[in-house]
Amino acid sequence: MTFEGTAVAMVTPFTVNDELDEEGLRKNINFLIENGVDGLLVAGTTGESATITYEEQKRLMDILVDEVDGRVSTIAGAGSNSSREALNLVKYAENSGADYALVITPYYNKPQAHGLVEHYKVINDSTDIPMILYNVPSRTGTDMDVETILEIAKLDNVVAIKEANPDLSKTSTLQKGIYDNNLDDKFVILSGNDDLTVPMMSIGAKGVISVVGNVDPFRTSKMVHSFLDGDVETATKLHFELYPLMKVLFCESNPVPSKFALNTMEIPAGHVRLPLFNLKEESEEKVKSVLKELNLI
């Protein structure tokens, strides 16, 4: 079961008492679905996975599955730098009823390529939930090479990769390998960088797991679906229309600008947890300016 289209890597809204804002999360889920997204991810990087507890992570999965109620695909962020912990989270995602588990490459410990294969094999052999690999070397310190990705892609439950390495040459090489190994019916590339979604789709990617979709889900989804439907002109137009937002939401560490944007739009987001902190004043003005240009406020 591969995924195509726009999945939103959701922010995790917090209350003023630093608890999960469960009501706000449910409101955001419905807002995103009403604006045409194809899938929703909780407990990813944008969801502040580094500073939520395991119990909070599991609660996010439960709320997502319950509120979505089959309307779009549900993706549970379930990775860890420990294979044992990752397996525990993936099993929980499976038992919660999520459609997919997003499993990041283990961070900090810099596993060897064959260690990565074993990491995903252990999870694959112990669960049945479809897995989306997540390669984001700027955060993990590990960049899965094409050969390793293709080997892991042959595992039964591995159906996609969220590729956040911005090297389009690597994406081309990976897509060629997918074709050459007859994996294109069971394994797809999803963009992990909003500003590269259309370029990556031009060489075979099938969609995006998006940050920008939190703030402008309608245009993000329309951009991706236009490309999938063969309307490259409209997709390209929307790419450039959204491009300032794609850039400004990364003017400081993700998800700080996104949460500021959502709060400005009166959409539940709340604060970010330390060591992340509020935007600088000049960054706030940049974000507001782009929101106004796009008629989002």
**Terminal Cα-to-Cα distance of the chain (whole angstroms):** 38
Chain segment 170-228, per-residue pLDDT in tens: 999 999 999 999 999 999 999 999 999 999 999 999 999 999 999 999 999 999 999 99
Could you say which DSSP state residue 269 is in?
A: -
Q: Which two tokens stand for residue 262?
A: 């959502």
Catalytic residue among 100, 134, 206, 286: 134
Name residue, tokens 């990813």: 44
Chain segment 85-125, per-residue pLDDT in tens: 999 999 999 999 999 999 999 999 999 999 999 999 999 99
Q: Return the SS3 of 5.
A: strand
188 strand-pairing partners: 160
pLDDT of amino acid 272: 98
**Cβ atoms 68, 33 nearer than 8 A:** yes
The CATH architecture to which 5-231 belongs is: Alpha-Beta Barrel (3.20)
Catalytic residue among 58, 162, 206, 259: 162
Chain segment 37-47, per-residue pLDDT in tens: 999 999 999 99
Q: What is the mean pLDDT of the segment spanning 18-32?
A: 98
134 a catalytic residue? yes
pLDDT of amino acid 155: 98
Q: Is 0.95 surpassed by the pTM of this model?
A: yes
Residue 34: band (very low, low, confident or very high) from pLDDT cuts 50, 70, 90: very high
Answer yes or no: is 140 a known binding residue.
Answer: no
Does the pLDDT value for residue 1 go beyond 90? no
Type of residue numbered 262? L
One-character DSSP codes across 217-260:
HHHHHHHHHHHHTT-HHHHHHHHHHHHHHHHHTTSSSTTHHHHH
pLDDT of amino acid 50: 95
Answer yes or no: is 209 a known binding residue.
Answer: yes
Does the pLDDT value for residue 240 go beyond 90? yes
Per the rule left: phi > 0, alpha: psi between -120 and 50, beta: everything else, 15 is: beta
Domain boundaries, the chain: 5-231
222 a catalytic residue? no
In the chain, pLDDT over 90 holds for what percent of residues? 99
CA–CA distance, 196 with 193 (Å, rounded to integer): 5
Q: 161: closest CA among 172, 177, 169, 150?
A: 150
Q: 73: closest CA among 132, 134, 19, 116?
A: 132
Q: How many helices (H) and strands (E) does the chain have?
A: 12, 8
One-character DSSP codes across 109-167:
S---HHHHHHHHHHHHHH--S-EEEEE-HHHHS----HHHHHHHHTSTTEEEEEE----
Residue 156: band (very low, low, confident or very high) from pLDDT cuts 50, 70, 90: very high
Chain segment 48-74, per-residue pLDDT in tens: 999 999 999 999 999 999 999 999 999
